[in-house]
Amino acid sequence: MIGLADCNNFFVSCERVFRPELAHKPVIVLSNNDGCAVALSNEAKALGFKRGDPFFKIKDRASAAGVTFFSGNHRLYGDMSARVMTTLRALSDDIEVYSIDEAFLNIHSETDDYAGLARYMAAKVRRDTGIPVSIGFAPTRTLAKIASRFAKKYPGYAGGCVIDTPEKTAKALTLTPVGDVWGIGRRLLKRLQIYGINTAMDLASLPQERIESIFNITGVRTWKELNGIPSIVPDNDSEHKTITSSRSFAKEVYTFEELHKAFAVFATIAAKKLREQKEHALEVEAFIATNRFRDNAPLYFNSCSVTLAESSDSTSEILKAALKALKRIFRPGLGYKKAGITISRIAHSPQPHIFSDIAKMEKMSKLMLTVDAINNSQHSSYAVKIASMGNGLEEISRKDHSSRLFTTRLEDIIEVHA
Ligand SMILES: [Mg+2]
């Protein structure tokens, strides 16, 4: 059995954690620059407002109806997401974060009460983070998605729904419009409608030969999943892939400023590697450690992860996240001997979120590629570099093997593990 946890009205729920008086009231969260509605509370939906409604069009009517508006605060949402994921991770053997408000849950030890488990997990996430979540368990990911939809739609499930028998599967599929099935995009939906396929049940009951003749591999997989045959597996390769850039310093480093410079180097190296692999990352971890070989000094090791609002391959975005993490773990007065960053949750394509400024993302990508091209054509990897790097690791690098090109080719001294 696989579980799917999906936060209810996620952005709205994040705002409500800090504005509890807005529970059961209509709330709308707006996109970048307050362009349009991107998240609505059930009460706002009941008033007839929809996702995508332009703000200027609905502003007066919605205000008159008592709707509270929020400009999207995606830093807050990213942080709340990390908290939800932490709780889910503690309650599962393994989770796969699927989006800012969704994760698949793997439970290795079998239980005969998945419904109880799902309700328990939903209640625990709610208590720990304030975020309401709907959890579905089923034999496949696609069915688990459907189960979580039922958990969300019908309060009687108390946040947890299980699809585990042929009867329950048939009932759930009959009640699910085919367009709501995971993986059925708008284009495929149109084709399905031409064939008179309106519910998930219509799709699931077609014979396999027919499915194979009308659909591509994705469609066939979805059909199998609806019939209880697991066919969509996470890309384990990228799931567990990380890039680390770290360094032991020649002497202890005491100030945040020096670490900042070192982190600029780490971010430059890791992000370049990411771009070479044509990949984007969603998580950046920073770690620092004091010298564990010195008996008279305090021993300190700490690490902290930051989730990016949107996946990125940009040096500056990765550095920004790394510094945010570093700020949380940096303790003044200690001499740091080793530090580094690890980037993870790596994916092949950028994963913009609802507030993403796509034009800006593309511009940034082009800029980074230009920087790489210039640096690749020069003897130094840092002909063009991020300003805060300064002279990088020069002062804190070991210089006792002068045959290595410390000052001109930093790759020579940095360990990169992929
Ligand atoms: Mg959701």
Distance 196 CA to ligand 1 centre (A): 29
Asked if the structure places residue 249 within a domain, the reply is yes
Q: Give me ligand 1 centre to Cα 82, in Å.
A: 14
Q: 152 alpha carbon to ligand 1 midpoint, in Å?
A: 9
Q: Is residue 39 part of a domain?
A: yes
- Give the domain range for residue 34: 8-74
181: CA distance to ligand 1 center in Å?
Answer: 14
CB neighbours of 270 closer than 8 A, spacing ≥ 6?
243, 244, 245, 318, 341, 343, 416
Q: How far is CA 277 from the centre of its chain?
A: 19
State how far the Cα of 100 lies from the Cα of 305, in Å rounded to an integer: 15
Please indicate, yes or no, whether residues 244 and 165 belong to a single structural domain of this protein: no
Cα–Cα distance for residue pair 41/29, rounded to 1 Å: 9
Alpha-carbon torsion angle 95, 100, 102, 103, nearest 10: -10
370 and 249 co-located in one domain: yes
Q: Verify that 131 and 257 share a domain, yes or no.
A: no
The rounded distance, in Å, linking the Cα atoms of 244 and 239 is 15
Work out the widest C-alpha separation in the chain, in whole angstroms: 77
* Type and span of the H or E element at 119: helix 114-129
30 & 155 share domain: no
- pLDDT tens track, the chain, 418 positions: 999 999 999 999 999 999 999 999 999 999 877 888 999 999 999 999 999 999 999 999 999 999 999 998 877 888 899 889 888 988 888 888 888 899 999 888 778 899 999 999 999 999 999 999 999 999 999 999 999 999 999 999 999 999 999 999 999 999 999 999 998 988 888 888 998 999 999 999 999 998 888 888 888 999 999 999 999 876 554 445 778 888 888 888 999 999 999 999 999 989 988 888 888 888 999 989 887 666 677 778 888 889 888 888 889 999 999 999 999 999 999 999 889 998 988 877 666 666 667 777 777 777 887 877 777 766 566 667 777 777 767 666 644 433 333 334 445 444 445 5
DSSP single-letter state for residue 415? E
Q: What is the pLDDT of residue 309?
A: 81
The whole-angstrom separation of Cα 185 and Cα 327 is: 42
The CATH number assigned to the domain holding 177 equals 3.30.70.270
Total residues found in the chain within this entry? 418
Ligand 1 geometric centre to CA of 182 (Å): 13
346 domain-assigned? yes
**Nearest in space to 336 (alpha carbons), one of 305, 388, 301:** 301
User: How much distance in Å is there from the Cα of 170 to the middle of ligand 1?
Assistant: 24
Domain end among 46, 74, 102: 74
Assign residue 49 the CATH number of its domain. 3.40.1170.60
Joined tokens for residue 349: 């394509």
Same domain, 298 and 360: yes
Query: Within this chain, do residues 206 and 244 fall inside the same structural domain, yes or no?
Result: no
Among candidate residues 166, 159, 119, 158, the one with its CA nearest the CA of residue 139: 166
The domain boundary, picked from 74, 93, 112, lies at 74
CA of 391 to the centre of ligand 1 (A): 45
- Distance separating alpha carbons of residues 339 and 313, to the nearest angstrom: 21
Does 361 lie in the same domain as 322? yes
Rounded Cα gap, residues 282 and 318, in angstroms: 9
Based on the structure, what is the number of domains in the chain?
3
Q: Are residue 29 and residue 63 in the same domain, yes or no?
A: yes
Whole-angstrom CA distances from 83 to 111, 121, 295, 346 are: 26, 14, 36, 20
Whether 219 maps to a domain, the answer reads: yes
Q: At 324, which CATH number? A: 3.30.1490.100
> Is residue 197 domain-resident?
yes
Q: How far is the CA of 6 from the centre of ligand 1 (A)?
A: 5
Residue 298, in any domain of the structure: yes
pLDDT of residue 53: 93
**Ligand 1 center–CA 101 separation, angstroms:** 5
12 and 34 inside one domain: yes
Together in a domain, 381 and 363 = yes
Residue 123 maps to a domain: yes
Which of 24, 52, 74 is the last residue before a domain boundary?
A: 74
What pairing do the DSSP bridges indicate for beta strands 301-312 and 415-417?
A: unpaired
Cα of 395 from ligand 1 centre, angstroms? 48
| Contact criterion met (CB below 8 Å) for 315 and 372 | no
Q: Is 377 helix (H, G, I), strand (E, B) or coil?
A: helix
Strand 2-7's sheet: what is its strand order? Answer: 94-99, 102-106, 2-7, 133-138, 160-162
Is residue 177 domain-shared with residue 87, that is, in the same domain? Answer: yes
305 falls within a domain: yes
Residue 9 C-alpha to ligand 1 middle, in angstroms?
A: 6
> Are 259 and 210 contained in the same domain?
no
Report whether 372 contacts 383 (CB < 8 A): no
